[in-house]
Amino acid sequence: MTVPREKNEPRKLPMMPIRDMVIFPYMMTPFVVGRESSVRALEEALNGDRKIFLATQHDASIDEPKAKDIYQVGAICNIVQSVKMPDGNIKVLVEGVERAKAVEITDRDGFFVATVRTGKRDFEMTPAVEQLMQRVTTLFESYVKLQQSLNYEAIVATVRMDEAAKLSDTIAANLQLNIEEKQELLAIFDPAQRLARLADMLDVEIEKLDLDRNIQSRVKKQMEKAQKEYYLNEKIKAIQKELGRGEKSEFDELRKKIEAAGMPKEVLDKCIQELKKLEVMPPMSAESTVSRNYIDWLLAVPWKKRSKETRSIDFAEKVLNADHYGLEKIKERILEFLAVRQLVKNPKGSILCFVGPPGVGKTSLGMSIAKATGRKFVRLSLGGVHDEAEIRGHRRTYIGAMPGQILQHMKRAGTRNPVFLLDEVDKISSDFRGDPASALLEVLDPEQNTTFQDHYLDVDYDLSQVLFVATANVMHTIPAPLQDRMEILRLQGYTEQEKLEIARQYLVKKQREQTGLSEKNIVFKDDAIVEMIRAYTREAGVRNLEREIGNICRKVARKVVKAGARHKEEITAANVADFLGVARFRDSEAHEQSEIGLVTGLAWTEVGGSILTTEVQVLDGKGKLTVTGQLGDVMQESAQAALAYIRSKAPALGLTREFYRSIDIHLHVPEGAIPKDGPSAGITMATALASALAKIPVRRDVAMTGEITLRGKVLPIGGLKEKLLAALRAGLFEAILPRANEKDIAELPDNIKNSMKLHFVDTMDEVLALALERPLPTPLPEAAKTLAAVPAEVAGNLPAPQ
């Protein structure tokens, strides 16, 4: 069927921009006209054939739109009725005639005139179009059923028609779409294409409405369930009241707990206020759960409960000595702390920080302090913590928020005055979530921690009664402000004798019990323990030693199970290898004979001391200094300083001032795979250089350590105890040390002071006099004359190490 239309020709019509609506053909639409330009366009149309072109604005907020602010496609409408209202506005009823496109928009006498062109005038109805019309009608009926805001009977009746164009425009006008989508439909001139697009839009809208209905149904069921539970709970309460059981409500019990908790007044007021809010909340609401958890946490942390302290100095000393061997300075400081607590009624909490290598007993010392003082003990490991909320907690606005670890551990302790161990405080990290070390500043400051605020509780909490003990392996990773708030107590590595005593008194007994053995099954001789210390462990503490003792005990336990309970093993130095295999380490030993250019130095490592051999070889060359042995920058600079000193003393060594120009010097520190650094090998290198150049052997029975300056001064070093222990293990009983370290003699163990002869020196000349087997040769006369004429800076420019 073909519907004849008038010839499609452009025509000029008054134009009115409209806001927040799209007018379709065949539809009657009322609206109010108030803008002056729109009123003039309306009057122009009323004075003519009552036809006007209506097009929608892009942006409804623009009061005076330009041509570019208006969609090009709109509707030609008949003005059916117009009524002027008291406020000056005009109420208009228009009927859409057909869609048209503005090809030109001009401004005339204060209103728009559009030259419009309508669409194609004839349309062929085909079976495909009829099928599409039927599908769109069916979809629209389903849409109206789901859309509660539309009257099903009235709307469905209006779309029962045979014309494709009229059907598509009527349905488009009744769909609840946004302006852009409606404008898209208006811009489609072909009815078949318009129907196809409508079908797609209806599919999407129906899917949305189905989803909304399912969600509403689910929410309704949940609300009905919550209301039912609330009703039943209230009914149960009423029944119990009628039965006269006299049971107090849950809120009354909470109120009693709050009043008995011993909270400060500000905290008590806040808790009571939170309880009042909880009473009026629906029991199943999310807010009530948050409030209840908050009240439970306020009740869980200790506000007044304290451990009864044991203030007996004798008992504390007995406990510390029973749990730890040695560590006299640490024990003295703890006993001093207890003595002060007996004299001062309310002393401020002390913050102790034990710094030392792994395995020396830092963590177990914290447990012993709690045992000696009768306090509760809690431990917080800070290794790898990188979120500030771990310390202070999250605010209650976050889902799943909890207090920080400080208050969580206070809850676990159950008292206001526990011993709180902050383990591995040197391994705290930070990222975009904050810096936990900065949060600890308030915790560890006795002047501030009386009013510590956790983000979750948001009330002041007093930590001043807590004895904080921190542990660390190194100091340089701890921020300076945090170090300033702690009293640093350094734990040195154990000596061989101390390790032997610890093994005899503690480790052997502990491992024997853990493996189910008795003294009748296994006996450790002292030489066996010494052999394990020297050949199977290389550490400052005793952790690996305990592990090796445990390995032997397990092997013996297996033999006991096979051979019977009477089986006995005696562990000696001779049979340790049968249980532990080949020795893993070997102690460096002194040289068999004195040699030229070979010197024994002393070094400090994180696992104790060791001897450090330094070798120098003089070769033909052009004055190059080669330094090998994987030495760090500081050690390489020490080699250059040593050579500069030797060059300045060339006449004393029987050398000319230009001696170095015809030779190369190679300085090597063996065990080249191990990195080495530090300034304390300065005098060792200088002695080796002097020996190699003067051709005088160095005494094999002397060890040395000290930093050297360009003028031959010997400066102090660290790690004296560990270095001298290494010398003793290597069979060296004489050592050359800086004079400035003489004050450290008091802290050395008695076995070192009684076994070794220690020489304290100020200058390199004294070192050479003690270390070389024979005195240096008499200075060359011509060399001495030359030297007298040379300025002080004889060291000159040295060749860079290769």
Contacts of 563 (CB under 8 A, 6+ apart): none
| Bridge partners of residue 420, in order along the sequence | 378, 468
H/E element, 200: helix 191-243
Which residue has 């702390």 as its token pair?
A: 337
Strands 757-761 and 734-738: parallel
Two structure tokens written together for 616: 């120098």
Instruction: Encode 187-212: b = buried (16+ Cβ within 10 Å), e = exposed.
Output: ebbebbebbbbbeebbeebbeebeee
H/E element, 192: helix 191-243
Two structure tokens written together for 628: 């090998």
Q: How many CB atoms lie within 10 A of CB 69?
A: 12
Question: Which burial class, exposed, middle or buried, applies to 478 when counting CB atoms under 10 A from its CB (0-12, 13-18, 19+)?
Answer: buried
Two structure tokens written together for 339: 């003595």
State yes or no: is 82 an active-site residue.
no
CA dist., res. 282 & res. 227, Å (int): 9
CA dist., res. 790 & res. 512, Å (int): 72
State yes or no: is 723 an active-site residue.
yes
Question: Which burial class, exposed, middle or buried, applies to 797 when counting CB atoms under 10 A from its CB (0-12, 13-18, 19+)?
Answer: exposed
Two structure tokens written together for 500: 């032997």
Contacts of 466 (CB under 8 A, 6+ apart): 349, 410, 416, 417, 418, 419, 420, 449
CA dist., res. 544 & res. 550, Å (int): 10
Contacts of 574 (CB under 8 A, 6+ apart): none
Two structure tokens written together for 205: 């809208």
H/E element, 257: helix 250-260
Instruction: Check if the beta carbon of residue 534 is closer than 8 Å to that of residue 352.
Output: no
Instruction: Check if the beta carbon of residue 736 is closer than 8 Å to that of residue 702.
Output: yes
CA dist., res. 462 & res. 301, Å (int): 11
CA dist., res. 683 & res. 713, Å (int): 9
CA-to-CA separations, 305 to 301, 368, 421, in angstroms, rounded: 10, 22, 20
Task: State CA 386 to chain mean position distance.
Answer: 2
Catalytic residue among 723, 753, 755, 757: 723
CA dist., res. 443 & res. 452, Å (int): 7
Catalytic residue among 182, 680, 691, 721: 680
**Beta strand spans in 356-448 (E):** 377-381, 419-423
Q: Round to the nearest angstrom and report the end-to-end CA distance of the chain.
A: 101
Instruction: Check if the beta carbon of residue 630 is closer than 8 Å to that of residue 676.
Output: yes
3-state helix, strand, coil in the chain (%, to 5): 45, 20, 35
CA dist., res. 436 & res. 428, Å (int): 7
- The number of CA neighbours under 13 Å toward the Cβ of 464 is 11
Two structure tokens written together for 548: 């090796």
Using DSSP, how many helices (H) and how many strands (E) does the chain show?
A: 27, 24
Please name the residue ranges forming H helices in 147-190.
Answer: 152-158, 164-174, 179-186
Contacts of 68 (CB under 8 A, 6+ apart): none
Q: What is the largest CA-CA distance in the chain?
A: 134
CA dist., res. 79 & res. 259, Å (int): 78
- Residues labelled catalytic: 680, 723
